[in-house]
Structure 1
Amino acid sequence: MKKVLVVEDEQTISRVLTVYLQHEGLHVLQAFDGEAALSLFYEHGPELVLLDVMLTDMDGWKILQEIRTKSSCPVIMLTALGDIDYRLKGLNGGADDYITKPFVGEEVVARVNAVLRRSANVLDSENTRQFGSLKISLDSHAVTLNGEPVMLTPRDLSLLLFLTERPNRTFTRDDLIENVWGMDYDGSDRAVDLAIKRIRQALSGWPATQGEIRTLRGLGYQFCVNGK
């Protein structure tokens, strides 16, 4: 049974989310503050975190940052802040999705299931891809650069794998949304740009002579190998 950690300081909202998620056959852990959230996260290792931005003791951004230093576990941000800057802050910080309050329980369940499917279906193969000092192990979903592990969220890893399967081919944002995010994604295509930015930052030590993720203005993105 997959575990979902719900981090929400409003107990009524937390109970509602718990009921909906349990109805889907998920095991729900509840935390009402940041300290408890991190403790439960490290103790139980959930498959997904629903994380409220506004908590009493620490904000959700700090918790997301802490999680990302240790894990690529999917995180969906819960926020009453409708401003696009806050949404982009979450996505740029490594969140996999965001849900704005007030929300419909069925929507939360659909988003959770979509993110869990993406993280479970990244790729299950015993192949290994190597591009100079960049090595991608598909059986363990691990990425290393110069022998050191590279931390990527499941969605960013899915995007990197999709591009590395098709080197030197150009894909538009819409292509990448359809093939990586999925047809059920209804957010901004700016998420593609943010994901590419995070991957480039994670691979900043990868020599350009070995490869790069190239932007073709007005066309899209390309995983370019050996400068081709």
Structure 2
Amino acid sequence: MKTNAHVLAVMTCSLLTAPLAIADDAAPVKSASVDLNGDGKPEAVSIQFDAPKNEFVLKAGGATLRGPGDDNEPAGVFIVDLDSRDSRKELVVRTGQTDYDQRSFIYGFDGKALKLLGTVPALTEARGNGIILSDSWQGFWNRRDKYVLDAKTGKVSEVPQDLYAVGVEATVKQSFPLARSRTDKKVVATLAQGSTIQVLAASPSSRKGEGYLYLVKSSTGLLGWATAKDLMEKTGGLPLAG
């Protein structure tokens, strides 16, 4: 089924402007009282910004921790429940001002100290099942990464993907070839000018500075790999935004 380009553009803009969807759309707070370690006693939680040092100051109970501010004051701290099977809650501090520099720092509290559990580009979704979904904009598509919270170690780690889903359409303005594989440059198809292609998936290139290689489906149903340079310079209609 073909996707209307206008719809894709609207979806893209919605993605860029949508609020952070974590813990059932919880909002960041400057201060709160919450039981973080599951002992039945709430801890006083607060966050401040030390502008001269460009650091945020996070407090929970009697513990204090400083983190990098990335040149902007965090809106607050998110209180999330990454795994509803335990009795703990986690704290998330989001820094950065764009999709390219944003980071979400995830902290746990053991009753004595705040500990960094992990860092993700953006904590887009966490619904209490130990899984974190993280979105980051890549120019004309959204990269979605998966992270999991290890119940034993208490650490957040990435689940590697060989390919990232893209799912956009474009029109060929200037003919260019598709390679047989990511490592074999032999031509499997040459895209005809004026034809419509589907960019199905992306894979980080092993070549420095090349960004991604893209798995493309031609109008004749053939699959091959294209460079980001060819897609950006020789096609039209990509849902560019940001």
Q: Which has the larger radius of gyration?
A: 2
TM-score, with structure 2 as normaliser: 0.25
TM-score, with structure 1 as normaliser: 0.26
* Larger strand share, 1 or 2: 2
